[in-house]
Amino acid sequence: MELSLSQKMKISIFLLYFLVGTVSAQEIFYNVIAYGAKGDGKTNNTKAINAAVDAAAENGGGTVYFPAGDYLSYTIHMKSNISLHLDQGAVLIGDKEVEGTGYDLPGDTTWYSKFQDFGHSYWKNSLIYGDGLHDIAIKGNGMIWGKGLYTHDKPDIKGSGNKAIALKNCYNVTIRDISILHGGHFCILATGVDNLIIDNVRADADRDGFDIDCCKNVVISNCIINSPTDDGLCLKSSFALGYARPTENVTITNCQVYGYDHGSLMNGTFKTEFIDEAPGANHAITGRLKLGTESNGGFKNITVSNCVFERSRGIVIETADGGVIEDILFDNITMRDVTDTPFFIRLNARMRGPEGVPVGVCRRVTISNLNVYDVGGRPKSPELGAGMVMGIPGHYIEDLTLDNIRIYYRGGASKEAIDKEVPQNINMYPDPYRWHSMPAYGIYFRYVKGLRVNNVVLRYLNRDERPAFILDDVHNASFNHIDAQKGEGAPQFILKNVSNISIHDVNGLDDTKIEKVEKKKL
C-alpha cells in the first residue's frame, strides 16, 4: 500500500521519538525524505529541502531533519525558528552549477561594495543562506561538504557559489557539532549576527574557516579548524552592512587552529606535503587567528583563551580602516611550527572606507601565558620570525602588556640583518610577509606608548646575531624578569628615540632607567 505524504511524515516523527531520546514532546521534525529528497549523491535536492524548510516555517518553526545519506543541493533558504539537523552519516553537499542553474545570484551592487572584498559584500550565493532571521540553528553530527563551491569570487559564472554558511543581520544563532569540509571562500560567514554560538564544530577549509564580521555577543568554543591557505578563525568589522559596526563581546575558548594540507584534518591524516617556501606569497601556509584586516568598526571586549595553534601564522591584531581596538585579552595559548611570527599587532592607515574617517586606535591589549616553539626562519627568509608590534608616525599602540611568554625561534640570521631598514607601509594591506624580515630576532616595537613586558623567555634554535628587542619611538615602557638568549657581541636591546624606559632583572644587564635617548645599544 502506498503511503501518503502526511503518513510518511508521521512515521518519520514517530521513529525519531524512539531514536533521539532527548526529543521533547513539543518538537516536530520535518524529514527531507518526506518532501522528495534523495540521499543518493546524484539527485539535486534544492526544491525538496526548501519545501521542508517552508513547511516548518508555516507551522511556526521546527527541525528540518537529514537522515544518513548524501544530499546534493544549491542554496537553502533558512527561516526564523528553524533548525537544520544533520544526523550521523548525513552529508549535505554543495552541488556544482550547471549551465547557469545553481546557487542564488550574489545580489545587487551597493555604493559601499568597494570597501570590502567581493566575498564580504554578498551572501546569497551560498549553500545555506539567511538574512534578517532569528532563533535558528545548524547542528547534528553530520557534515557539510562544499564540493561545488569556489574558493574565489566567480561573478562571471552564473549560479556559482562560494560560501558554505552565510548569515546576515540575524540574532540568536547556534551552530553546533557539525563538520564542514571545503567550505569555499568561507565555511561560516556571519555578518551582523548577534547572540551567536559556534560550538564543537570541525572545519577543514579551502580558505577561511570562520569569519565573524560586525557581530556582538559571540561564543566560539571547542572547535577544530584547519585552514592552510587563509585565515582559520577571523574576526572582522567591515563596512559590508553599509555602516561601521564593531565586533564586540566575543569569547573564543578551547579551540585548535591548524595549517595542515586541505582535507587532512577530516580524514585524520594531518598531512604536511604543501611546503611554504615563498615568503612573499599571499596564500602560503596561514591557519591563524586574526582580528582584521577589515576593521572599519573596530574590535572591543574580546577574550581568547586555552587555544592550540600548529603549522600556522599565530595571532594577528590589526586596525587598518579607522576602527578602535580596545580591551583585548589572549591567555593560555600554545603554538608549534609557526611560519612567520607568533604575534603581529598593527595600527596603520589603509583606510578602505568612506572618506573623512580618522586613523584608528589600538589600546589595552594583553597577551599572557603564551608558549611558542619553532617560529619563523624558513629557508628562504631566515630573518622572519620576530613578534611585531607597530603603529605609524603620530599614531601609537597604547597600553600593551606581554606577560609570562616563552618563545623558541628558529633563528639563523647574521648581524648584517640588524641594519635592515623597516619600511613604514603606512597605507598597505598589513601582513607580516610584507616586511620580509626584522632586525630583531625576538620582538620589534615601533610607535608604542605604555608597554609592559614581564616574565619573558626568548631562545633561538640556530645561531642568531640580532638583538632580542628593538624599541623604535617607544615611550613609558618597562621590562621585568627577562631571560633572552644573546649571541656573543650582540646587544640585548637597540633603543631609538625612546623615553622613560625601565629595565629590571634582564639577563646580562644591570637594572637601569632611561629618561630619554636618541640611540643606544644595551
Q: How confident is the model at residue 18 (pLDDT cuts 50, 70, 90)?
A: very low
How far apart CA 237 and CA 402 sit, in angstroms, is 25
* 475, pLDDT greater than 90: yes
- For 482-511, the pLDDT digits (tens) are 999 998 889 999 999 999 999 999 999 999
**213-228 mean pLDDT:** 98
- Asked if 35 and 88 count as a contact pair (C-beta separation under 8 A), the reply is no
Amino acid 504: pLDDT: 98
* 21, pLDDT greater than 70: no
Amino acid 274: pLDDT: 72
Q: How confident is the model at residue 380 (pLDDT cuts 50, 70, 90)?
A: low
Amino acid 273: pLDDT: 85
Which is higher by pLDDT, 316 or 5? 316
* Closest among 125, 170, 128 to 152, alpha carbons compared: 125
* 48, pLDDT greater than 90: yes
Pairing of strands 493-506, 443-462: unpaired
* The three three-digit cell numbers of residue 421, written as one number: 631598514
- Asked if 244 and 296 count as a contact pair (C-beta separation under 8 A), the reply is yes
Q: How confident is the model at residue 27 (pLDDT cuts 50, 70, 90)?
A: low
pTM over 0.85: yes
How far apart CA 160 and CA 104 sit, in angstroms, is 8
* The three three-digit cell numbers of residue 299, written as one number: 574590535
**183-210 mean pLDDT:** 97
Q: Please tell me what DSSP assigns to residue 296.
A: S
Amino acid 264: pLDDT: 95
Amino acid 23: pLDDT: 41
- For 385-427, the pLDDT digits (tens) are 999 999 999 999 999 999 999 999 999 988 888 998 999 999 9
- Asked if 291 and 317 count as a contact pair (C-beta separation under 8 A), the reply is yes
Amino acid 120: pLDDT: 94
For residue 495, list its beta bridge partners.
Answer: 471, 520
Percent of the chain with pLDDT over 70: 92
Mean pLDDT for the chain overall: 92
Burial 210-235 (b: 16+ CB within 10 A, else e): bbbbbbbbbebbbbbbbbbbbbbbbb
Q: What is the DSSP track for 360-382?
A: -EEEEEEEEEEEEEEES-BTTBT
Amino acid 212: pLDDT: 98
**36-51 mean pLDDT:** 98
Q: How confident is the model at residue 381 (pLDDT cuts 50, 70, 90)?
A: low
Amino acid 276: pLDDT: 56
Percent of the chain with pLDDT over 90: 83
Strand ranges (E), 254-347:
256-258, 289-295, 299-312, 315-319, 324-338, 343-347
Lowest mean per-residue pLDDT among 44-48, 219-223, 286-290:
286-290
